[in-house]
Structure 1
């Protein structure tokens, strides 16, 4: 009979199973689709007062389903959620009744003396069958309706949210896209070809290029002319700014007006807009920084202080709440804040995982001056060509470099260091804790020093190489505008692109000298200039270099005279550098605020651990009558586990140090990786502070 009570619950889960499996199972997806269209397909086709608006939202959000299918599924999901919620509502009511069905006597024995009046307030009166039926019916209807309505609302809100997100991303990337279009138009390339290049490089130029890809599909798949395709993609875009740009662009193309002249005006306009958006973004970051300090530093500090006072006074056992705060609430809050920061930052960082980088494995890649170039060589009875040797070299280049030049590998890719330091830290931790583990005396407090020192080793070494790596990349990006200006001057003087790059290696461009020398070696071995540039892009792997290389390589296909394109690329790179420097300068103030707020957090936590806890610990064990000590009549201090409070203070400070450091890096420099140095410094300060407290107070 006991198992039969859970049959409705199993039925509720079975109803939701196809919906949960639809994203990963083709069979479940087809089943849900078929049922949805058969059940609600006719209804949603013939009804819907907001249908036109919702259709626009679905198209702009790039939802891969028609309105009829999406709306039908929405009704099915809402219906299933309502039915399942109705069933779950009965169990919710039963659980509440079972939880509250406790006698007042038992409640009084569990509650502190000051709160025993609550025992009479939470007593559940005995219910008749009729009353119980009404209660269960009400709970079932309430949970069912809320579940169905919430599901229906979320299904339509998700595309609307995606609409707004894409509109914001399009606006932020439009200036770079217009600069790219303007530069290629100056090289003599036609608008259809420019659109196709943008569609192929939408991972570089973001959502604005993604909108251009819609027009390219309209031309290539449906045979529309360029004017109709541009107007169609602009009308379907969620961004009003992009819609205006597309409509004006179509008018310019139709009227025969100079396209480079129009794009030049738009480029300057969007540059001004980018400056205004940067200022608004910095204001938002400043508000977020202040909010972070209030919610995730001051807030937990106040909560911990209140819980500690209640616990140490014996009012209630607050250790579990302190554990929840230190090990769950603070980490989750900080992680959520970083995720939100990442969503509004909208970085165009292109990683190696989603970009194909050409390798020098084509037969034409050989040293020109080599007399054996292109010939086959007998090697132990096997005939091997130079191209095959180069292919094998490229295949194992990363492994060879990691083994023979580890410092260079770490300098170019700091994450590679973690493959060494993390196993070493884990091995060191296990070896140092092994005696305690073997003796069965290992505890969490006894492992604190070992774990913290291992964490400092991993974070500290990574922070050093990451700082050096970032400094190198910033120096390279700072030299990019000068390099482009010099290339433009040399190219405009009549030199070819290859000769221009070779000429650059004779000058002094600081951090770029080494990379230009490597590009020259690639070209010397027969690699074409475009491939050498893309290999340079892969080595640097920053948004500025990626955009420059994409622009230059595509301009080279249109014309060898790319001087004007290089000037535009230099101006764009210079403006990007200026905006980035402005952001770093503005955020320096808030980095200092985050560090100071952590120090205040540490001072208060340290004060609780160094002053309040020892003061209570040193109280006499009884009064004159020999009874347990109480303070103000609030509770019994002698029953409080003071050592546990000391340990949780220490752990809270360590957790706050690490997460505040990574948040500081994300907010001030744009990536969590750059927070390693802040996390290392804060963690070291917290660790040393508690070592001093332990030595001075508890020794």
Structure 2
């Protein structure tokens, strides 16, 4: 906890403790994201940060509005009600106050929402990384189990292997529960399985816990899961490549051929009509093409498996 987080916690920490039930999802997201910040500290920091951002934005935009006299740009013509006349006479003051309040609510609210959503985004990224590395991690676990290494030591060794990404982090937490908190292997696996963001990791850990409790052959279970997840991983990669090919064809059709057709058509119509400023052509070139390309990039990035 840094100095700013400590300041926020000292300021609002006790009040935030009373809101634990209201922010149940946030607490789960913080745990799944493995953020090393408690709920009270994080929520206190989110509230104080939102207020700071809102105040800075309000002061900055309010000063800019007052200095440039932006409300005076609005002009009224013809007969208007007396209320509008009064507002126009005090437009600079009223406009500046409106900008200050609006900026504080918008920027402060956006900051608060982003900070509340951030743990779920981190947890989602961890879930994708775990799902991508889990088949290889289970192959490693199977090899260690075949060599006769105990399950607790297997998870410790997996936690010390950074090449397995977030799957190694989950194994590291199992080792932490055993070594630091003194829990047995079943309790450690149960705790981690209840907080992991990956459904596949949860299923694997729960199966391992059931196999240990029933006295089954753990090596056979690991080997079966390794084959299962390897097959699922190949199928997932094939589906992703097929989807990527479909998206590529859609991009070529919509953003290359389609926009090229619109540009040629609008250019011809502008020449025939004598339009010196074809606004639709500007919209296609400066808005439609960049915005559409950005949407395709974001869509591909969101569905790409972690490497």
What is the TM-score when the length of structure 1 is the normalising length? Answer: 0.37
How far is 1:215 from its partner? 1.0
Q: 1:316 aligns with which of 277, 281, 289?
A: 277
Tell me the alpha carbon deviations over residues 334-393 of structure 1, each in whole angstroms, 9 at most, x when there is no partner. Answer: 688557645643353xxxxxxxxxxxxxxxxxxxxxxxxxxxxxxxxxxxxxxxxxxxxx
**Match of 1:261?**
220
Tell me the alpha carbon deviations over residues 276-309 of structure 1, each in whole angstroms, 9 at most, x when there is no partner. Answer: 4234423432443244335542465356447756
1:198 and 2:170 correspond: no
1:170 and 2:130 correspond: yes
How far is 1:250 from its partner? 1.6
Q: Relative to 1, partners in 2 of residues 1:201 and 1:291: Cα closer, same or farther, differing over 3 Å?
A: farther
Tell me the alpha carbon deviations over residues 530-549 of structure 1, each in whole angstroms, 9 at most, x when there is no partner. Answer: xxxxxxxxxxxxxxxxxxxx
**Match of 2:10?**
38
* Cα distance in structure 2, aligned partners of 1:101 and 1:310: 36
* Cα distance in structure 2, aligned partners of 1:300 and 1:87: 43
Q: 1:235 aligns with which of 191, 194, 208?
A: 194
Partner of 1:222, secondary structure, is: coil
**Match of 1:67?**
39
**Match of 1:249?**
208
* Cα distance in structure 2, aligned partners of 1:142 and 1:209: 46
Q: Would the aligned equivalents of 2:72 and 2:92 in 1 still touch at CA under 8 Å?
A: no
Which structure: larger Rg? 1
Counting only pairs closer than 5 Å after superposition, residues 546-565 of structure 1 correspond to structure 2 as: none
Q: Would the aligned equivalents of 2:132 and 2:306 in 1 still touch at CA under 8 Å?
A: no
Aligned residues: 294
1:159 and 2:131 correspond: no
Q: Would the aligned equivalents of 1:89 and 1:141 in 2 still touch at CA under 8 Å?
A: no
**Match of 1:12?**
none
How far is 1:216 from its partner? 1.9
* Cα distance in structure 2, aligned partners of 1:294 and 1:142: 42
Q: Relative to 1, partners in 2 of residues 1:169 and 1:347: Cα closer, same or farther, differing over 3 Å?
A: closer
Partner of 1:64, secondary structure, is: coil
Q: Would the aligned equivalents of 2:71 and 2:92 in 1 still touch at CA under 8 Å?
A: no
* Cα distance in structure 2, aligned partners of 1:130 and 1:96: 12
Q: Would the aligned equivalents of 1:93 and 1:139 in 2 still touch at CA under 8 Å?
A: yes
Q: Relative to 1, partners in 2 of residues 1:310 and 1:147: Cα closer, same or farther, differing over 3 Å?
A: farther
Q: 1:97 aligns with which of 41, 66, 70?
A: 70
Counting only pairs closer than 5 Å after superposition, residues 349-388 of structure 1 correspond to structure 2 as: none
Counting only pairs closer than 5 Å after superposition, residues 475-624 of structure 1 correspond to structure 2 as: none
Question: Which 4+ stretches in 1 moved above 6 angstroms?
Answer: 101-104
* Cα distance in structure 2, aligned partners of 1:145 and 1:165: 30
Tell me the alpha carbon deviations over residues 575-617 of structure 1, each in whole angstroms, 9 at most, x when there is no partner. Answer: xxxxxxxxxxxxxxxxxxxxxxxxxxxxxxxxxxxxxxxxxxx
Partner of 2:180, secondary structure, is: helix
Tell me the alpha carbon deviations over residues 606-659 of structure 1, each in whole angstroms, 9 at most, x when there is no partner. Answer: xxxxxxxxxxxxxxxxxxxxxxxxxxxxxxxxxxxxxxxxxxxxxxxxxxxxxx
Counting only pairs closer than 5 Å after superposition, residues 416-435 of structure 1 correspond to structure 2 as: none
Partner of 1:50, secondary structure, is: coil
Counting only pairs closer than 5 Å after superposition, residues 56-455 of structure 1 correspond to structure 2 as: 56-90=28-62, 97=70, 128-203=88-163, 205-294=164-253, 296-298=255-257, 300-301=259-260, 304-305=263-264, 308=267, 313-316=274-277, 325=286, 341=300, 344-348=303-307
* Cα distance in structure 1, aligned partners of 2:132 and 2:11: 42
How far is 1:77 from its partner? 1.1
* Cα distance in structure 2, aligned partners of 1:208 and 1:172: 9
Q: Which has the higher helix share?
A: 2
Q: Would the aligned equivalents of 1:88 and 1:143 in 2 still touch at CA under 8 Å?
A: no
* Cα distance in structure 2, aligned partners of 1:134 and 1:99: 11
Gaps of 5+ in 2: 78-84
Q: Would the aligned equivalents of 1:89 and 1:144 in 2 still touch at CA under 8 Å?
A: no
Q: Would the aligned equivalents of 2:6 and 2:41 in 1 still touch at CA under 8 Å?
A: no
Q: Relative to 1, partners in 2 of residues 1:86 and 1:48: Cα closer, same or farther, differing over 3 Å?
A: farther
Q: Relative to 1, partners in 2 of residues 1:334 and 1:246: Cα closer, same or farther, differing over 3 Å?
A: same
* Cα distance in structure 2, aligned partners of 1:176 and 1:266: 11
* Cα distance in structure 2, aligned partners of 1:229 and 1:39: 35
What is the TM-score when the length of structure 2 is the normalising length? Answer: 0.79
Q: Would the aligned equivalents of 2:8 and 2:45 in 1 still touch at CA under 8 Å?
A: yes
**Match of 2:81?**
none
Tell me the alpha carbon deviations over residues 502-545 of structure 1, each in whole angstroms, 9 at most, x when there is no partner. Answer: xxxxxxxxxxxxxxxxxxxxxxxxxxxxxxxxxxxxxxxxxxxx
**Match of 1:382?**
none
Q: Would the aligned equivalents of 1:307 and 1:321 in 2 still touch at CA under 8 Å?
A: no
* Cα distance in structure 2, aligned partners of 1:173 and 1:303: 45
Tell me the alpha carbon deviations over residues 29-85 of structure 1, each in whole angstroms, 9 at most, x when there is no partner. Answer: 51x223312221121112243333322211211212111111111001111122223
* Cα distance in structure 1, aligned partners of 2:30 and 2:16: 15
* Cα distance in structure 2, aligned partners of 1:135 and 1:303: 42
